[in-house]
Amino acid sequence: MIVPANRGGSVEHFYHFLFGYLLPFLDICHPLREHRRFLLRDCGPMNRLLRELDGFEIALLPTWQVLGSVLANNPSLGALPKLVAPGFDAPAAYDAAVLRRIRALVPELFAARLAAAAERHPQAASDRLVLMVDRAPQDPFYASPRSEKRGAGAQVRSIPNMAEIHAAVAARYEVLVVRLETLPFFEQVYLFSRAWRVVGQHGAGLAHMIWAREDAALVEAIPSPNGVPIGKVAYAAIFRGVCSKIGVRWHGILQEDNHVMLPPARVLKGLAALD
């Protein structure tokens, strides 16, 4: 049984799932994959990503069973061997050595999945691909009583004029717009590993910058509803920190509220600042 020890949020949401449960699980448990069956807690919509982990025999348990078993209230569950997976889903917990190790591990374990993703996305062969991340409408799960934390996707934050921004950027660069929620996990990994520049609003999918190539950079739109300067917006440290630890550049651009138009010229200026 793999007990999550994420540092915040809920592992039903992608950032805390990826950095707080999935990647710690792979890092700790990959040597055991050929002779162990793993019990993980139910992660809601993230369960579909667990099903892509070839070579790992995984079964899901209700959250209460996994967390309750730590106290061994249930004799049958209490007797199971347990591993606690310490999460690093907070900037203070980022460790460059751990991130480098995982960056090398995932392509080794899932080479076939990544090769298949490359075949499905031939446009990513470009060495100067700008990957634009659009936010999809939230999965209905996050509006239901089953969700540990309500709200996700475009309900939380959005860029309503993404099509206008896409047109402006595409006039100068090779661009691919994606909604990560619609893609298999390893297609997401592959696209971020190929992107020369990533453009996106602050959101969990930008955790994929962990796979970025050395010359990549992130232009992140930082909503600041209260007019706080980007340098003082607390959550700007999340993906700026990931980029810093893996040695790629980050540039923040201001979005005045969570759902207001973002001027295309501001995005182009952010991209130009990284040239």
pLDDT digits (tens, 9 = 90+) for 182-206: 999 999 999 999 999 999 999 999 9
Q: What is residue 67's predicted lDDT score, i.e. its pLDDT?
A: 80
Beta-carbon-side half-sphere exposure of residue 135 (alpha carbons within 13 Å):
24
pLDDT digits (tens, 9 = 90+) for 63-114: 988 887 776 556 666 677 889 999 999 999 999 999 999 999 999 999 999 9
Contact 133, 198 (CB under 8 A): yes
Name which of 42, 37, 38 is nearest 17 in CA terms. Answer: 42
pLDDT digits (tens, 9 = 90+) for 107-135: 999 999 999 999 999 999 999 999 999 99
Q: What is residue 78's predicted lDDT score, i.e. its pLDDT?
A: 63
Q: What is residue 4's predicted lDDT score, i.e. its pLDDT?
A: 94
Report CA-CA distances (Å) from 163 to 157, 176, 206: 16, 12, 19
Contact 265, 275 (CB under 8 A): no
Compute the radius of gyration of the chain from its Cα atoms: 19
Percent share of the chain, pLDDT over 70:
97
| Residue 138 confidence (pLDDT) above 80 | yes
CB under 8 Å to 229, separation ≥6 — which residues? none
Q: At 211, list the tokens.
A: 């796979």
The 8-class DSSP code of residue 9 comes to S
Report CA-CA distances (Å) from 71 to 40, 74, 86, 104: 16, 8, 18, 35
Per-position DSSP letters for 128-152, written without gaps between them: TEEEEEEPPPPPGGGGSTT-SS---
Q: What is residue 80's predicted lDDT score, i.e. its pLDDT?
A: 79
Name which of 79, 78, 77, 95 is nearest 27 in CA terms. Answer: 95
Q: Give the H or E element holding residue 189.
A: helix 185-194
With bands split at pLDDT 50, 70 and 90, how would you rate the model's confidence at 143?
very high
Q: With 0.85 as the threshold, say if the pTM is over it.
A: yes
What residue type is 239 in one-letter code?
F
Percent share of the chain, pLDDT over 90:
92
Q: What is residue 101's predicted lDDT score, i.e. its pLDDT?
A: 97
CA distance 236 to 252: 8
CATH class of 124-273: alpha beta
Listed in order, strand segments (DSSP E) in 52-135 are 57-61, 83-86, 129-134
Q: At 164, list the tokens.
A: 């206008």
Write down the domain spans for the chain: 2-93, 124-273
Report CA-CA distances (Å) from 69 to 7, 38, 65, 82: 19, 15, 6, 9
| Residue 230 confidence (pLDDT) above 90 | yes
Contact 44, 147 (CB under 8 A): yes
Q: What is residue 64's predicted lDDT score, i.e. its pLDDT?
A: 87
With bands split at pLDDT 50, 70 and 90, how would you rate the model's confidence at 156?
very high
The 8-class DSSP code of residue 19 comes to I
